[in-house]
Structure 1
Amino acid sequence: MYNRQKAVDYANQWWNHANPAFPRFEDDCTNFISQCLLAGEAPMTGYPDRVKGWWIKGKSWSYSWTTANALFWHLQNSKKGLQGRRVSSESELELGDLIFLDFTGDGRVDHSLIVTSIINGVPYVNAHTTNSYHRLWTYEDSSAYTPNIKYYFMHITVTP
């Protein structure tokens, strides 16, 4: 079972610096999101296949651990363990759920965010790369924002 509060607590603790127990990347958003999911007790699967599953072990990890587009597709297609179900609106998200951003609208996910608070039905998120704490989910203040942006809302689930 996914512990949403533990995932959010981790996101709030580590939003502005790197946890030395994990590698750090120049584009660190999905590595950070994966750490949050792991802190929320999401089970890792697929080791040692870097293409399948979601995992980190030592100095090796799956593509879905570190790449927003790979995590997005993994969550939608996973049949066991960590999974995601796309929902149509930000209003359907809960704490610990994810939002994926496709800044240019080209169909490839560029960035990942975790919902860390919901105020009056509006999600706020934490993220890495440009470290963010309780930032408005729309990311309209981002230098990467374009009018073509697409948002993908992902409700996190875990199955045996």
Structure 2
Amino acid sequence: MERHMLRSKRNTSNAFIGNIIFDDWKNDGKVDHASIITKISNGKIYVSQHNKNYKYRSLAAQRSAEPKMNIWIYRPKLEWY
């Protein structure tokens, strides 16, 4: 997967729409879930997941629900294919 990604980071300051977030809810080094950044408004990041109840859910709300959560943000390369 790394060869298809531009970069990974844990800092959200340079996140973009379309970035993939891998969540480690237990902070045990294992990915538990993934989501896509689908909206950024007034500095707040919103993600969408496979569940319709989590369309445009704020990343802050997700972190609040999972206080131990660690994330990795990946930016796909545009010319990955």
What is the 5 A alignment of 1:49-128? 74=1, 76=2, 78=3, 82-128=4-50
Contact 1:90 1:122 in 2 (8 A): no
Distance (whole Å) between structure 1 residues aligned to residue 14 and residue 45 of structure 2: 10
TM-score normalized with structure 1 length: 0.44
Give % identity: 28
Q: Of residues 123, 133, 140 in structure 1, which corresponds to 2:55?
A: 133
Unaligned runs of 5+ in 1: 1-73
Q: By how many angstroms is 1:129 displaced?
A: 4.5
Contact 2:5 2:74 in 1 (8 A): no
Give the length in aligned residue pairs.
79
Q: By how many angstroms is 1:122 displaced?
A: 1.6
Give the secondary structure class of the aligned counterpart of 1:93. coil
Unaligned runs of 5+ in 2: none
Which of structures 1 and 2 has the bigger CA Rg? 1
Structure 1 stretches (4+) deviating beyond 4 angstroms? none
Give the secondary structure class of the aligned counterpart of 1:140. helix
- Higher strand proportion (structure 1 or 2): 2
Higher relative contact order (CA 8 A, sep 6+): 2
Contact 1:91 1:122 in 2 (8 A): no
CA 1:130 to 1:108, structure 2 compared with 1: closer, same or farther past 3 Å? farther
Q: By how many angstroms is 1:102 displaced?
A: 0.2
Matched, 1:155 2:75: yes
CA 1:109 to 1:84, structure 2 compared with 1: closer, same or farther past 3 Å? farther
How well do the aligned residues superpose, as a CA RMSD in angstroms?
Answer: 2.0
CA 1:148 to 1:116, structure 2 compared with 1: closer, same or farther past 3 Å? same
CA 1:130 to 1:107, structure 2 compared with 1: closer, same or farther past 3 Å? farther
TM-score normalized with structure 2 length: 0.79
- Higher helix proportion (structure 1 or 2): 1
